[in-house]
Chains A and B, each alone.
Chain A
């Protein structure tokens, strides 16, 4: 282990630390070094934070537990780059996305089926090669073969029965038991990486806020921090605390929604009824204080565009006061009702080693023993130096994912109360200077569903040369396929909701 560790450290020491990226380093390495780092990912010596491309270059964000992450980049040579997926499975889908978006070939890749390109675009490799498209019917997609006696397939989607996002699920079942689930996503691909190439800074901020509507605060938070890191810009203390309040309100709203919806998918509708009210109260308070129910476009580079008045702070605290006892009551109901426990306990088990291998963030990872929270482990303002509970469980089932959310609700409420008790005075927005030269920034925030990474390069003239947003869903979707195995088809909605991955956030 130490030998290979030394090898990677040596490889990075030899590499050029390129255009200053802040706060972490970015190294440009040769093909062979890139392969060695991919190998280290596969051997569990590093975890992957993201894999994306820009014109002529592939970027891989990695982290060794307990250390700061770094980005390793390699040039695309003759339209080819070394496959990370062949060495580390979590990279397969990001790699397929790069191949579709840029037309770059991952050498030795284990899966070359198109991922985002369903044969309907006006260009092939729209961000790189820009070739003529080869139109295909959307259903023309080879699913992985499953063979055996008595197996049957159940195709579901892209249009689903509920008010949810589109995606296709192909179940292979033996009677009621799921033998395999294969996901096919990409239906809501809007070309976000393209819309985040050579755009004015303001415009980029608006697009990032709409990568996944439920995580708009977390995405804008990461985007703003990446811009501020690139420019070396300090944010007023009051602004960082307001950002924290918004991020935790977003977590509360989503966790309430999820806890209710998971139970509803096990036909325990009373939880949804109550959690729906809690969620609505949080959104109403957010609208009253920040003038937008989802707090969209409120976090901007330099600070925030809304302030919290004394009255606003009182309203938020009063809302939490009102919710707390009622929430405790329905948590008792959840825990003491055998009919719901029978559905959630032991269902949709995600093995801890898979959670680690895929660096699964958020409640999905923490319910399967992966003790990681970007707020604590890649600490940033206003969380840095603040003690708060990061619940971790080992059961890895639907119940554990519900329990993690329940505990995080309490932790978020505590944080909000503490911040509002001592809200620092001062300005809420610092002027954003123009970049004097190309400058890169990177940031990870903890969205309600897990770590969310934003990387960008700024150019003089208040422009974004390239920006990439990586939602936690990228590394959670593949795990859902594993978690549903050997469960009954009827428990799929329950398992799916307990993951609650974003379609838009991963389809981009």
Chain B
């Protein structure tokens, strides 16, 4: 137990006040890459609104990755990329998801878990294979322990390459997915 008496609560107050009045750290628009991110985000938001009523719930599944892709998918949630401002939300259960983002070459030891996660995701659902490994096993092909790319286990709607793909690449990819989703729903 930690004594609460005599503690100075000023740091919290200062930091919160500063944060309230500070400019957003979320990339604004000065240089080219920041502008691209902003543009990508808004385009996505419009389509997401039309198809999924403002939101796309994503469940991430590591099927054998080295964790590099997870680090960059994680970055989508930070204050700089802040994917939630575009209606993109990571959820804790496949039962709440519209999209499965799957990373890694599918390890044989993960095959059943991946199939079950896919089965647990309600329709309509989309699968995004993230990273060179998910797309084509990367450096991990030719192994007794690897089934293959993600599409050899579950149907894949979109593949985002990169080792690992940058967060900006991931955002751009999610637009393409929403395009595809729009096509499917006939809008």
Contacts and interface: CB of A to CB of B under 8 A. Distances in A.
Interface of A: 116, 118, 120-123, 126, 137-138, 158-159, 161-166, 186-192, 194-195, 203, 206-207, 210-214, 216, 257, 270, 273, 276-277, 279-280, 283, 287, 293-294, 296, 329-330, 332-333, 336-338, 341-342, 345-346, 502-505, 507
Contact of B2 (A123, A276, A345): A345
Contact of B65 (A116, A329, A504): A504
B113 A158 contact: yes
Top 4 A-B pairs, shortest CB-CB distance: A213-B68, A276-B78, A191-B143, A191-B145
Contacts of B66: 210-213, 216, 504
Given A123-B144, A189-B107, A333-B11, A280 B80 contact: yes
Given A210-B66, A213-B67, A296-B68, A186 B73 contact: no
Nearest to B74: A163
B32 interface: no
Interface string B63-79: 11111111111110111
Contacts of B107: 187-190
A273 B77 CA distance: 9
A188 B110 contact: yes
A382 to B, nearest CB: 25
B93 interface: yes
B67 A212 contact: yes
Contacts of A163: 60, 70, 73-74, 77, 90
B185 interface: no
A166 B138 contact: no
B87 interface: no
Given A213-B164, A330-B15, A191 B79 contact: no
A216 B140 contact: no
Interface in B128-155: 138-140, 142-146
A270 B15 contact: yes
A214 B75 CA distance: 13
Given A195-B142, A214-B71, A294-B68, A333 B15 contact: yes
B17 to A, nearest CB: 12
Interface in B82-98: 90, 92-94
A122 B1 CA distance: 53
Nearest to A162: B92
A273 B75 CA distance: 11
